């Protein structure tokens, strides 16, 4: 587990700046705000906050936002974004999410975006998120949700692009996880993130030789869709779409 955490840190130290330059990573943040309905009294924790894109957006609606991430370079980028936006109600915490380094019932809202596919035990991370959420508070998880028919091929592709990738939950696994969590009134919203292949390769740091493998995997999948990302050619570029599931529910009082 420790070696995997180091792999995450190594990958996202390199991705810290390029991550913010992938247009798709800015998509649908407003949707996350819309489905959680934050109020001015909310205190929010963003688990695996990365460069702070989501945390800083929520800071415009909440009393206070805390961002937690294991990669120092990501926290540095988040701090820069906070300064650029002149936000005074955000703090950053360097640390792991197993366990989440906060006391029980510390926050009225706990969220995470695009992180669960990096965890060996997403159910344990979700349990930690619920632990630090106060009774009646909201928990949101947004991540890749693949068809069971495509999950194996998608995982192979993503591990080629990013060696810290573990497993994208299938739609069935995601539904089961959220059902077993104990969250009340849990709702599901879906969207897709459109990505241009060469921009994504530029923002990624695969192992030597794997960039060309990745390019071939996706290019050869045009018109086939074995990967579940529906790649297509547009104006001389290859574009594909990552399916995202957003679950949000309330912790029992």
Give 14's DSSP letter: H
Q: Residue 90 domain-assigned? A: yes
Q: Residue 51 domain-assigned? A: yes
Q: Residue 218 domain-assigned? A: no
38-52: pLDDT as tens digits: 999 999 999 999 999
Q: Which residue has the higher pLDDT, 125 or 8?
A: 125
Q: Residue 55 domain-assigned? A: yes
Q: Residue 228 domain-assigned? A: no
**What's the pTM?**
0.95
Q: Residue 91 domain-assigned? A: yes
Total domain count, the chain: 1
Instruction: At 55, give phi and psi (nearest 5°).
Output: -60, -45
Alpha helix ranges (H) inside 22-150:
29-36, 53-58, 72-84, 122-132
Alpha helix ranges (H) inside the chain:
2-21, 29-36, 53-58, 72-84, 122-132, 151-161, 171-180, 197-202, 210-219
Tokens of 238: 């290859």
Rounded CA gap, 39 and 163, in Å?
A: 38
Q: Residue 189 domain-assigned? A: yes
Which residues lie closer than 8 Å to 42 by C-beta, 6 or more apart? 61, 62, 63, 108, 109
Domain span at residue 142?
2-151+163-194+243-250
Tokens of 200: 């994504």
132-163: pLDDT as tens digits: 999 999 999 999 999 999 999 999 999 999 99
Q: Which H or E element spans position 238?
A: strand 237-250
55-112: pLDDT as tens digits: 999 999 999 999 999 999 999 999 999 999 999 999 999 999 999 999 999 999 999 9
In the predicted model, what is the mean pLDDT of residues 189-216?
94
CATH number of the domain that residue 117 is part of: 3.40.50.150
């Amino acid at each position: 587990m420790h070696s995997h955490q180091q792999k995450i840190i190594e990958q996202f130290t390199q991705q810290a700046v390029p991550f913010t330059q992938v247009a798709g990573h800015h998509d649908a943040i407003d949707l996350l705000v819309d489905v959680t309905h934050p109020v001015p009294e909310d205190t929010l924790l963003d688990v695996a906050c990365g460069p702070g894109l989501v945390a800083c957006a929520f800071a415009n609606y909440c009393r206070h936002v805390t961002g937690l991430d294991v990669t120092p370079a990501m926290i540095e980028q988040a701090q820069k974004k906070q300064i650029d936006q002149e936000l005074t109600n955000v703090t950053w915490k360097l640390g792991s999410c197993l366990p989440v380094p906060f006391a029980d019932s510390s926050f009225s809202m706990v969220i995470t975006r695009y992180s669960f596919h990096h965890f060996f035990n997403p159910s344990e991370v979700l349990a930690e998120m619920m632990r630090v959420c106060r009774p009646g508070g909201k928990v949101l998880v947004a991540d890749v949700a693949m068809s069971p028919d495509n999950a194996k091929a998608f995982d192979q592709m993503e591990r080629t692009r990013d060696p810290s990738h573990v497993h994208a939950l299938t739609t069935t696994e995601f539904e089961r996880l959220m059902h077993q969590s104990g969250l009340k009134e849990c709702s599901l919203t879906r969207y897709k993130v459109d990505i241009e292949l060469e921009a994504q390769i530029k923002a990624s740091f695969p192992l030597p030789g794997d960039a060309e493998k990745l390019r071939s995997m996706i290019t050869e999948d045009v018109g086939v869709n074995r990967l579940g990302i529906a790649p297509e050619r547009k104006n001389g570029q290859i574009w594909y779409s990552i399916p995202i599931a957003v679950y949000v529910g309330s912790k029992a009082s």
